[in-house]
């Protein structure tokens, strides 16, 4: 079974995840919210202490709190960065997004465009497993699920939280699309699947079907 190390980052308490295979020592990251230097150091220290080789980064979407560390990851480790192309319009707006929340955006925080941006659904291989990147627009046009069916594990980004769902009042948000994406998630991903969201506590699909009023 793959192991997951969460790092809570930046003023938004965003969940950055390092996913790794203990046998092969290979790893990938889901979102990179490291805003402070201490957060970037913690990310790097974990990889070094476990002697892990980072293979790639996947962004669930490109809101600023999920991409503060993209440049650091790209330049430090030289790995591909996968994200859905529909969110690229957000990248030139990072400074304005930061001003909205009173957060200064320096050069280290600016998220560069990636040659590995994709459209539609994409499958990525990792340590003999399949990672499915499934478009779930609503919170943002390019939001994706990061689903590992063999691991009964899904990173939901800001689509689904424990007891809640993502907001739709930010640029590109769409409530009708969010509702359709939640339906798609409920019908596609099995109930026993662990959900690791972009903020807050972990949960399962089954738990949210029972107790989340927005997911019934």
pLDDT tens by residue, the chain, 216 residues: 999 999 999 999 999 999 999 999 999 999 999 999 999 999 999 999 999 999 999 999 999 999 999 999 999 999 999 999 999 999 999 999 999 899 999 999 999 999 999 999 999 999 999 999 999 999 999 999 999 999 999 999 999 999 999 999 999 999 999 999 999 999 999 999 999 999 999 999 999 999 999 997
| Token output for 20 | 């790794």
Q: Give the torsion sign (CA, 65, 177, 206, 58).
A: negative
Please give the pLDDT value at position 190: 98
Note the pLDDT of residue 153: 98
> What does the pLDDT read at residue 216?
76
Domain ranges (residues) in the chain? 3-211
Query: Over the range 194-209, which residues count as b (16 or more CB within 10 Å of their CB) and which as e?
Result: bbbbbbeeebbbebbe
Residue 173 to residues 30, 76, 141, Cα–Cα distance (Å): 21, 32, 7
Tokens of 59: 């962004």
Eight-state DSSP code of residue 190: -
> 23-56 burial, b for 16+ CB within 10 Å, e for fewer?
eeebbbbbbbbbbeeebbebbbeebeeeebebbb
> Which superfamily does 3-211 belong to?
Ribonuclease Z/Hydroxyacylglutathione hydrolase-like (3.60.15.10)
């Amino acid at each position: 079974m793959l192991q997951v190390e969460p790092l809570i980052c930046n003023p938004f308490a965003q969940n950055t995840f390092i996913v790794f295979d203990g046998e092969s020592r290979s790893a990938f990251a889901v979102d990179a919210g490291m805003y402070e230097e201490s957060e970037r150091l913690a990310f790097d220290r974990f990889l070094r202490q476990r002697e892990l080789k980072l293979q790639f980064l996947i962004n669930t979407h490109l809101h600023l709190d999920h991409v503060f560390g993209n440049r650091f990851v790209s330049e430090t480790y030289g790995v591909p960065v996968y994200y859905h192309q529909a969110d690229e319009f957000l990248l030139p707006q990072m400074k304005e997004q930061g001003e909205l929340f009173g957060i200064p955006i320096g050069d280290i925080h600016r998220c560069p465009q990636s040659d590995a941006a994709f459209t539609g659904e994409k499958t990525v291989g990792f340590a003999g497993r399949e990672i499915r990147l499934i478009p779930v627009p609503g919170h943002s046009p390019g939001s994706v699920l990061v689903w590992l069916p063999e691991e009964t594990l899904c990173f939901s980004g800001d689509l689904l939280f424990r007891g809640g769902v993502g907001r739709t009042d930010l640029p590109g948000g769409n409530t009708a699309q969010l509702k359709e994406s939640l339906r798609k998630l409920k019908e596609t991903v099995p109930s026993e699947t662990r959900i690791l969201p972009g903020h807050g506590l972990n949960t399962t699909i089954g738990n949210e079907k029972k107790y989340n009023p927005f997911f019934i």
